[in-house]
Structure 1
Amino acid sequence: MSSDVRQVTDPERPVHPEARTRPARTRRAGVAAGIALCGAGAAAAMVIGHFVPAVSPLLIAIVAGALLANLVMVPGWIRPGLDFSSKRLLRVGVALLGLRLMFSDVIGLGWGVIAVVVSIVVLGIAGTMYAGKLLGLSWTQRVLIACGFSICGAAAVAAAGGVVDADDEELLTAVALVVVFGTMMIPAVPLLANVIGLSERQAGIWAGGSIHEVAQAVAAGGIIGGAALAVATVVKLARVLMLALVMAYLGARRRRTAGGGGADNAQPPLVPVFVLGFLVCVALRSTGLLPQVVVDQAQWIQTALLTAAMFALGLGVRVSLLRSVGSRPIVLAGLSTVWVAAIALAGVLLVT
């Protein structure tokens, strides 16, 4: 054997320090590049959203990410940065979402409306899970659609996906369905509320109780009127508050089914850290000690983080992947939309 070959294959030959650090450098570069790309996508989406306020920056970001992924070859080496954005940044954004809400706002709705909100989330999730089971969908796919359509849209889908360890395909499918069906609800709820003859307050409660995304509910409330906008926003944020309870339940369920012990089979936390962060942010906002300028800046950061996360998720959407999903998730999304809207409307009519 030649000396050159021995130098390459000899296991006792020292490895040059630069060879050890090269993979770490490559990964760090990939993380930085992926985060930078998602930041640029989020910035563009937020600028567009500023000039088109009826469209959520989260929606713009996920559509832009999907278009980029299917039109341009996104290099694989930036995947660590995309994963960081779609998971870590999203969890921080969900935690900061708590700064939008005060406990006093929820209590101010009255116990009747609060009961309606709880019913929407509980019955919405239960009904969607049952319908998905009849359709033969997986448990995780049903959970993602149920949480997204019953609580707070794409943020709830992504939060639940991190807790139940869902597949990327299931996660992206649920997010895409939330975007499509939630956007359809923006003109549908004001139109139907007018046909039914609901008052402005009743229509606002229905919008906040039935529409998937916070921004979508705000857009629909704005179409109905000023009074509807105010109550729609608070009702929708009350549904967001239920995110903490549902994620805690899912975390506890996964912990029970994860099996025990061992370094290779560590149990997930009883309550996800970002859920605790969400509750801390709600409590902090409820104290009234935070200056409004701090709240406004924090909400801007929260929107930017969630928009970057949605752009990262959009980069994982492939046309071929969506074609392989089939019609059953779409059917479940339609059924869930109608079911949640019906619960919300029945609750509005009962308590008002």
Structure 2
Amino acid sequence: MTETAANPVPPAVGVQPSIWIGIGLSVAAAGVSWGVGLLVPGLSAMLVAILLGAALANLLPTDHRLMVAARPGLAISARRLLRAGVVLLGLQLVLGDILALGWPTVVGVVVIVAGTLAATLALGRLLRIGATQTLLIAGGFSICGAAAVAGIDGVLAKRKDEEAATAVALVVVFGTLMIALMPTLAFALHLDPRTAGIWTGASTHEVAQVVAAAGIIGPAALTVAVLVKLARVLMLAPVLAVISFRQRSAGLEPGAARPPLVPLFVVGFIAMVAVRSLGVLPPVVIDIAKLAQAWLLGAAMFALGTSVHASVLRRTGTRPVVLAAAATLVVLLLGGLVAFVGR
């Protein structure tokens, strides 16, 4: 065997890693993903970002100069930019609007999130899927899609970027199916706009997917659906606090730092909800924050995507897909129950 065949990729000698290379690459990819999302309605910009990251990771070997130089910045993007995006997500929530839905619907949202989480965690154990992968899928499907996956990933002491990327991809795929399913159910069952809106917001995974699905049903359903979905988003804070507490209570390796009782970015998320609910921010600030949130989460998704290699996908297998399908069915059934009770 020749020397070239034995070592087909030259090592990255003399490469100077820099956090700015990875961060710049992530931010640029987020911009491209956002643009593609605008050009192709219904296409998730977060999914595009993950695919771009996965494409780069699989086209270039891990010891390629660019990958070595970008690695520190990609790690920051996958962690810190992700947390910043979750904090800004709080500015999309107004407590008064959510409470106006009525106590049956608000309580129903808590039941949906808790029930879907519990059922998905139980099914994950039955399918013998890793605890972290199961938790990420459970959070994404029960709360608010990719943002929930990102938030949960941010509080885990032991984490694998490819598991978060897999969970986000599954959320996007099954949530896209809901865009067609929810209007079909609404029209087939002759649902009134409020019932259809509650069911759509209670069952569909991503906020953008809720807007797409409820928009097909009608403007009245859209208004209700978005409010119900934002009520689910609000559940992100207590869920992250519980997960962080459990991480804190779990056995740690000798010398390992104990995670905070409530992560700082969760406090930031709650603070942003409070600020938005007070009504002190002008609309232009809220619009800018929304764009920044999308850009930050897109950058984080790209960084997570660079950890998804073909070999990882082959090892993942079909069990996470089965779990995602089951979680979708659970949230659909619970959402329907709440919709018919709360109408």
TM-score (norm 1): 0.88
Structure 2 residue 283 is the aligned partner of structure 1 residue 295? no
Aligned residue in 2 for 1:250: 243
Tell me, yes or no, if the aligned pair for 2:82 and 2:154 is still in contact at 8 Å: no
Q: In 1, Cα distance between the equivalents of 2:306 and 2:224? A: 35
Moved over 3 A (4+): 71-74
Structure 2 residue 168 is the aligned partner of structure 1 residue 175? yes
| 2:39 corresponds to which of 48, 51, 70 | 51
Aligned residue in 2 for 1:42: 30
User: Which is further off, 73-82 or 198-207?
Assistant: 73-82
| 2:106 corresponds to which of 114, 126, 133 | 114
Q: In 2, Cα distance between the equivalents of 1:66 and 1:219? A: 26
Aligned residue in 1 for 2:230: 237
* Shift in Å, 1:168: 2.5
Supply the AA of the counterpart residue of 1:344: G
Structure 2 residue 146 is the aligned partner of structure 1 residue 154? yes
* Shift in Å, 1:259: 4.2
Supply the AA of the counterpart residue of 2:46: L
Aligned residue in 1 for 2:129: 137
Tell me, yes or no, if the aligned pair for 1:258 and 1:267 is still in contact at 8 Å: no
Q: In 1, Cα distance between the equivalents of 2:44 and 2:211? A: 10
Gaps of 5+ in 1: 1-22
Cα displacement string for residues 213-262 of structure 1 (whole angstroms, at most 9, x for unaligned residues): 111111111121111111111111110100000000000111111449x7
Structure 2 residue 324 is the aligned partner of structure 1 residue 333? yes
| 1:83 corresponds to which of 75, 85, 90 | 75
Q: In 2, Cα distance between the equivalents of 1:249 and 1:190? A: 34
Q: In 2, Cα distance between the equivalents of 1:139 and 1:313? A: 19
* Partner SS for 2:235: helix
Structure 2 residue 88 is the aligned partner of structure 1 residue 96? yes
The RMSD of aligned alpha carbons is 1.7
Tell me, yes or no, if the aligned pair for 1:185 and 1:211 is still in contact at 8 Å: yes
* Shift in Å, 1:69: 2.7
Cα displacement string for residues 254-307 of structure 1 (whole angstroms, at most 9, x for unaligned residues): 1111449x7x22210000111100000000001111111111111111111111
| 1:344 corresponds to which of 315, 335, 341 | 335
Percent sequence identity over aligned pairs = 51
Supply the AA of the counterpart residue of 1:54: G
Aligned residue in 1 for 2:297: 306
* Partner SS for 2:16: helix
Tell me, yes or no, if the aligned pair for 1:172 and 1:313 is still in contact at 8 Å: yes
Q: Write the mapping of 1:261-272 to structure 2, written as runs, cut at 5 A.
A: 264-272=255-263
Bigger Rg over Cα: 1
* Shift in Å, 1:149: 0.4
Mark the CA change 1:194 to 1:72 in structure 2 (over 3 Å): closer, same or farther: farther
* Shift in Å, 1:109: 0.9
* Partner SS for 1:26: coil
Aligned residue in 1 for 2:10: none
Tell me, yes or no, if the aligned pair for 1:158 and 1:171 is still in contact at 8 Å: yes
* Shift in Å, 1:72: 4.2
| 1:26 corresponds to which of 16, 21, 30 | 16
* Partner SS for 2:145: helix
* Shift in Å, 1:319: 2.1
Structure 2 residue 185 is the aligned partner of structure 1 residue 195? no
TM-score (norm 2): 0.90
Tell me, yes or no, if the aligned pair for 1:172 and 1:314 is still in contact at 8 Å: yes
Supply the AA of the counterpart residue of 2:312: L
* Partner SS for 1:265: coil
Aligned residue in 2 for 1:14: none
Supply the AA of the counterpart residue of 2:205: H
Cα displacement string for residues 35-58 of structure 1 (whole angstroms, at most 9, x for unaligned residues): 111111111111122233322322
* Partner SS for 2:69: helix
Tell me, yes or no, if the aligned pair for 1:55 and 1:216 is still in contact at 8 Å: no
